[in-house]
Amino acid sequence: MIGSRLRHGDRALLLSAAIYGVSTTVSVVALRTVRPVDLLAVEISGAAGLLLVTAAAQRQLRRRGALRQMLVGCLVPGLAFLLGDLGLARTSASSASLLLAADPLLSVLLAVVVLRERLTGRAAAAVAVGLVGAALVAAQPGDSAGVDTVLGNVLVLLAVAASALYLVATRRFNGDDDGLNASAWQAVGGALSVVPFVVYSWSAGGSRLGAAGFAGWPACLAVLGCGALGSVLFNRGIGSVPAARAAQLGNLTPVIGTLSAIVFLGDRPSLLQVVGGVAVLGGIGLLLRGPAGPDRPALPATALAEEQR
C-alpha cells in the first residue's frame, strides 16, 4: 500500500537519503588513506565537473538563477562537506551516521518557523516516532575502536546544521528548477567556497592523493559519485515535497549509514540501536501512509513576487 502512494518526489528523496547514508561509510574508508582536504577536493571539484558536463550535454544547464544556486551550494556541498569530512576523520562511521539523526528535527523546526509549514497529526506522530528512534540509535554509539572524539562529533553536528539550512533554502527556491541544473551550479558554488581551505591545507600539510593507491582512489571516486547522484535526486524531489516531509524522509540516512557501517566496516550495533532503527523506519512508514500534500505549498521563485503583491 505504501509503495502505491509514493509520489515521484518521495521516491527521489528516499533514494537520495539512502545514497547519502552509504556515502558516510564510504567516506570513512577513503579517509583511512587520504586527508580530509584531499577527499573534499576530489568529491566537490569532481562533482562540479561531472554535473556541469552532464547538464550541458543534455542541454539542461541554464544561466538564469545560477548565482542563487551557487550561493546555496556554499552550504551544501561546500560547508557541510567540509565540516563533515573533518568530522568523519575524527569519529566513526556509525557515530557520524547516528548524529545525522539531528538533521530531520532541525529541518522540521526551520520548515515550520521559516516556511510556515504546518504539520498534520499523522506527520507530527511520524516526527515523534522517528525522533525517539533516532535518540535510541544515538544513545549507545557502539564499539568503534575508540576513535570517537568530541571535536569530530561537533563538526558532524555543524555539518548537519548547514544541511538543514540547505534543505529550507532549496525548498524555498527550487520549485521551478530541475535537479540536474540546480545540482550543477550548487556544486560549482561549493567548490569555489572551499578553494581557500584546500589551498591553505595543501600548502601547509601537503596531499596524500598520490599515495592513495587502489584502496583510496576507488573510495574517493565512490564518494564523488554518491554526492553527485544524491544531490541530483534531492534537488529533483524537493520541489514537490514540503520541507518538513522531506526532513522526515531524510531519517533514512542514519539508518542506511549505520547498516552499511555494520556490513562493510564491522561496526557492532547495540540492542538500543536496533530498536531505534526499527522505530525510525516505522516513523517513515507512518509518514508515507498519510497525505503527501503540504498545508501551505512553497511557490516557485518566479511566483514569489506575485504572491507578495
189 pLDDT band (50/70/90 cuts)?
Answer: very high
User: How far is residue 290 CA from its own chain's centroid?
Assistant: 24
Q: Cis before residue 77, ω within 30 degrees of 0?
A: yes
Q: Which residues pair with 268 in a beta bridge?
A: 143
pLDDT in tens, 247-289: 889 888 888 988 898 888 887 777 777 787 788 788 888 877 7
pLDDT in tens, 22-80: 999 999 999 999 999 999 999 999 999 999 999 999 999 999 889 999 999 999 999 99
Instruction: Report d(CA 7, CA 241) in Å as an integer.
Output: 9
CB burial readout 225-251, b (16+ within 10 A) else e: bbbbbbbbbbbbbbbbbbbbbbbbbbb
Using alpha carbons, list the distances in angstroms from residue 159 to 85, 208, 261.
Answer: 9, 24, 19
Q: Which residue has the cell 518521495?
A: 10
Are the beta carbons of 292 and 245 closer than 8 angstroms? yes
Q: CA Rg, the chain, in Å?
A: 19
Three-class SS state of 268: strand
User: How far is residue 31 CA from its own chain's centroid?
Assistant: 18
pTM of the model as a whole: 0.82
